Amino acid sequence: MKSITEKSEIFKEDKEYYKKTLEHDIKSGRPINLFYSFTHITPTYTLLFVLNELKRLADTGNFKIFIVVWDTNALENPYMKDMIASKRIKDPKAFLEEKNKELKSIIKAVGFKEGEVEVYKSSELWRNVINHREEDLFQMFYSTMASMKTDEFPNHKMSHIAQSTIDLILCRFWNKLLPEDTKRRIDILFIGVGRKEIYTKLREVMKRNGILNDDKPVFRVIKEYPFLEHRDNIPNFDSSKSEIRDIVRNCKIELDKDKLFLLSSYLFDEENFKEFYEKNKDLEVNELKELFSDKLYSYLRDYKRKFLEIQNDKEEDILKLKELSKLKDFGNVLRSDIALKIMLLADGTKSPTEISKHLGKSIATISMYTNRLRKSDLIRTLSNGRLRRNIKGVKINLESGLESFKNGK
């Protein structure tokens, strides 16, 4: 068997620039910005395959990975619409917000280091695009879409073309749209299964229209693997062993031994996969399907266990202030030196009594401020009575504007 370490590759048109510039930057430890976007509704095997490949890439250099979750696209997903119609989802926006938090926990379960990955919602980034003042980015989006012909992509929906178009615009202007996060443009656009032809055509059009005028972003394409789907069901965290077996037995793509071993290679490290292959290479296809189904079930359950362990322990997050009223509230809370010092000391190791002693203030005074911080969801009390902050920093993007200020409030 060939090496299974490489699950993705630089697009052939970008290899020369990659070898001359980016490969050297990666080896020298210079920061590299990588972009990936997708729609997240359920934690599927495909999500884990991609995240693990991104993790492998991150381990090769000084990578910063920016992930955009297309929440706007999720609302039009057939599975999502069915859940809303059947009342299994009562509040779609609240559901997607929970999914965003879920994704962050899954990213941690995969093993990314603190600060390696940032997650954004497409609905929020659209505001940045529309409010950007230096260039007319919406016109760039419109002119690109106007140049596309839908019959060139018979296997894709219009939403895929629109999503991919704005992805490339985001990559081109990322450091201008989100200057609080990075001063560098996106170096690499990571492309998932089935999107290479769209991005390739879009890049041609955008270069012709003068929107893209250099070699960035480089395309890195994940190697194709079979998509497992049966009756709109895809193997995910909550799939039972019998459900996964049913999907593998009856999926739309006919699975031969090569495809089954390709899928299996994502479930093991290289050494263990070689052992798995040698042990099972003579099995019949149906036997291998059963074995793969069991291995995939174990793989998903293992990540679900890690995910639940992380999800049960709320982690500090970056507070992104987008409304003038919330910015004022935050400023009012931290206007006091005592409140700010409590935030700095609330690292999960100190109780209110210990903080009162440290600051030389009465327990009544500390309780008053901690109650105010707790109501603002800035700190929480752990089961052992110690205080822990809920945020590790604050971001304000003045370029995109504050909502209530723009509405004249």
Q: What are the domain boundaries of the chain?
A: 8-222, 241-311, 317-406
Give the whole-angstrom CA distance, residue 386 versus residue 138: 48
pLDDT in tens, 187-217: 999 998 888 888 999 999 999 999 998 889 9
pLDDT in tens, 351-363: 999 999 999 999 9
Give the whole-angstrom CA distance, residue 138 versus residue 130: 6
pLDDT in tens, 256-292: 999 999 999 999 988 899 999 999 999 999 999 999 9
SS3 132: coil
- Which pLDDT does position 321 carry in this prediction? 65
- Which pLDDT does position 17 carry in this prediction? 93
pLDDT in tens, 322-366: 666 667 777 777 778 898 899 889 888 899 999 999 999 999 999
CA torsion angle for 361, 365, 366, 368 (degrees, to 10)? Answer: -170
The mean pLDDT value for 66-71 works out to 93
Single pTM value for the model: 0.78
pLDDT in tens, 137-151: 999 999 999 888 877
Do 20 and 52 contact (CB within 8 A), yes or no? Answer: no
Q: Which token pair is 47? A: 């999500």
Do 264 and 287 contact (CB within 8 A), yes or no? Answer: no
pLDDT above 50: residue 405: no
CATH of 317-406, picked from 3.10.150.10, 1.10.10.10, 3.40.50.1980, 3.90.1170.50, is 1.10.10.10
Crossing angle of the two packed helices 257-264 and 270-280, in degrees rounded to 10: 150
Q: Quote the mean pLDDT of the chain.
A: 87
User: In terms of DSSP bridges, do strands 32-38 and 63-69 run parallel, antiparallel, or are they unpaired?
Assistant: parallel
Quickly state the pLDDT bin for 155 (edges 50, 70, 90). Answer: confident
Comparing 16-20, 46-50, 309-313, which segment has the lowest mean pLDDT? 309-313
Residues 292, 297, 300: CA angle, nearest 5 degrees: 120
**Per-range mean pLDDT, top range of 29-33, 122-126, 130-134:** 29-33
Residues in CB range of 204: below 8 A, 6 or more apart: none
Quickly state the pLDDT bin for 180 (edges 50, 70, 90). Answer: confident
Helix or strand holding residue 294 (H, E) = helix 285-311
- Which pLDDT does position 95 carry in this prediction? 85
Homologous superfamily of the 8-222 domain (CATH):
HUPs (3.40.50.620)
